[in-house]
Structure 1
Amino acid sequence: MDTINNYHQIITEILGEYAKLPYAYGNLERKFIISEDHKNYLLLTVGYLKGKRVHGCVVHLEIINDKIWIYEDGMEDGIALDLVNAGIPKSKIVLGFHPPEIRPHTGFAVN
């Protein structure tokens, strides 16, 4: 299996499980969105909480070449840890939400 398909399978499994988790309060739900080319993945929270509209990005991942870029990570323990536990090396994960000068100190890929 090539790298992109492997990443797609892992990401889809991880975020698909998170998308199934119900919210304990409010009229909120998760939406899991995958781009047609299977390179962008979004996990959104949408709905209403205390009468106010909620629409926010929890996770945004993009596959660029042979690496997974994490642009948004609102998970409690971090989506990067889930990816590593699924077998993706840290050298193939870029914490894109950090500025370039911080990335060398994260233990993950720089770019």
Structure 2
Amino acid sequence: MELIFDDERMRYLVLWVGWYKYKPIHQCVVHIDIVEDSIIIQCNDTEESIVEKLVEMGIYQENISLNFIHPQHRGYLEIAT
């Protein structure tokens, strides 16, 4: 795993980097951007709910956006939660 923290642009990534047998691996696991008061989750390829963790830390759910879900389908998440 490789961690990339760009505090200047408020962009944070976790990548899988390496090899599996003879195949190179370069895959984004988590990508989070912070824009003003909003946390934008661009990618979450984990089993953990990043939103739950952020809410537990005191961040309002309204300030968290799941950009890996098409805008047309985000309303369904709000109804379900």
What's the TM-score bracket when you normalise by the shorter of the two chains? 0.7 to 0.9
Determine the structure 1 residue equivalent to 2:12.
41
| Distance (Å, rounded) in 2 between the aligned partners of 1:106 and 1:64 | 22
TM-score by length of 2: 0.84
Where 2:62 maps in the other structure, the secondary structure is helix
Q: Percent identity?
A: 36
More strand by share: 2
What RMSD, in angstroms, separates the aligned Cα atoms of the two structures?
A: 1.4
**Deviation for aligned residue 1:38:** 4.9
Where 1:101 maps in the other structure, the secondary structure is helix
| Distance (Å, rounded) in 2 between the aligned partners of 1:50 and 1:79 | 31
Number of aligned positions between the proteins? 78
TM-score by length of 1: 0.64
Structure 2: which 5+ runs fail to align?
A: none
Determine the structure 2 residue equivalent to 1:76.
47
Runs of 4+ in 1 over 6 A off after TM superposition: none
